Amino acid sequence: MFKHRSDKKELLDEDHIPEKDLFQNLRELDFINHYLGGYAITFSALNEILETTRAYTLVDIGSGGGDTLRRINTWRKKKSLQLSLYGVDIKPMCVLYSEKKTKTTEINFICDDYKNIFDHLPKVDIIHASLFCHHLSEKELVDFITFSSARGCTLVINDLERNPIAYYSIKILTTLFSKSYLVKNDAPVSVLRGFKKKEWIFILEKAGVTNYSVKNKWAFRHRVIVYGKR
């Protein structure tokens, strides 16, 4: 079952998830991301592409509970970086949760499809997607990459490697420690919807981009950067 990406949908992709269940899921995802080093992958990419002398606008696509943006905001202050931060999520309850949890006006959230971000913002320098791309089909992913590159944005992707060790590890950990049925179901499914490095290269080339990097990162992640116009 690890040879090809699964097309099984996650429960999180369904509509009408009860608010308390969704919020529990978002809290646990933040915990998992932190302790499995997911945020560090994003920081490594931003370290590579950001210059201290420039101001940037970064949009986090599929921003969920806003945890990634809050971590980026803390990180960019330590680095003295000029970074305007926006989160885009299609689920109103995710945006509601994000706004409740975010105790700063330095981060703004938009409830919409990512394809409409330029209806809200005149300029975007960096599009960031953490644990978003594995929700997409190959065609949707090619469209997403094409959307970003056609507008000159630098695209940073932080997503899962499809790996049996990752699958069985997260299945055991969430069975033992998670209180969320969404996390228990979706965490192993997410791994099965993840990628091999060669699949990323195939998808990127299918999207017509040539200036990119794909790196394996701990723990069972890929860091993909598609470089935009400088």
Model confidence pLDDT, tens digit, residues 110-160:
999 999 999 999 999 999 999 999 999 999 999 999 999 999 999 999 999
Per-residue pLDDT of 63-76, as tens digits, reads 999 999 999 999 99
At the topology level, CATH places domain 11-226 in Rossmann fold (3.40.50)
Per-residue pLDDT of 172-216, as tens digits, reads 999 999 999 999 999 999 999 999 999 999 999 999 999 999 999
Confidence at residue 13, expressed as pLDDT on a 0 to 100 scale: 93
Confidence at residue 230, expressed as pLDDT on a 0 to 100 scale: 65
Confidence at residue 101, expressed as pLDDT on a 0 to 100 scale: 95
Q: How far apart are CA 49 and CA 71, in angstroms?
A: 17
Half-sphere exposure (CA, 13 Å, Cβ side) for 16? Answer: 0
Whether residue 229 is predicted with pLDDT greater than 80 in this model: the reply is: no
Place of tokens 């899962």: 160
| pTM more than 0.85 | yes
Confidence at residue 188, expressed as pLDDT on a 0 to 100 scale: 97
Confidence at residue 34, expressed as pLDDT on a 0 to 100 scale: 85
Confidence at residue 159, expressed as pLDDT on a 0 to 100 scale: 97
Share of the chain above pLDDT 70, in %: 100
Confidence of residue 35 (pLDDT cuts 50, 70, 90): confident
Q: Are 26 and 97 within 8 A, CB to CB?
A: yes
> Can you count the helices (H) and strands (E) in the chain?
9, 7
Q: What average pLDDT is seen over the chain? A: 96
- Side chain identity at 115, as an amino acid letter? K
Confidence at residue 37, expressed as pLDDT on a 0 to 100 scale: 82
DSSP string, 126-152: EEEEES-GGGS-HHHHHHHHHHHHHTT
Mention every residue, 6+ apart, whose C-beta is less than 8 A from residue 25.
12, 17, 180, 182, 183, 186
**CA distance between the termini of the chain:** 41
Confidence at residue 225, expressed as pLDDT on a 0 to 100 scale: 98
DSSP string, 150-210: HTT-EEEEEEEB--HHHHHHHHHHHHHH---HHHHHHHHHHHHT-B-HHHHHHHHHHTT--
Q: How many CB atoms lie within 10 A of CB 149?
A: 23
Q: Give me the long-range contacts of 114-119 (CB less than 8 A, separation at least 24).
A: 114/59, 114/61, 114/62, 114/88, 114/90, 114/144, 114/147, 115/147, 117/59, 117/61, 117/86, 117/88, 118/151
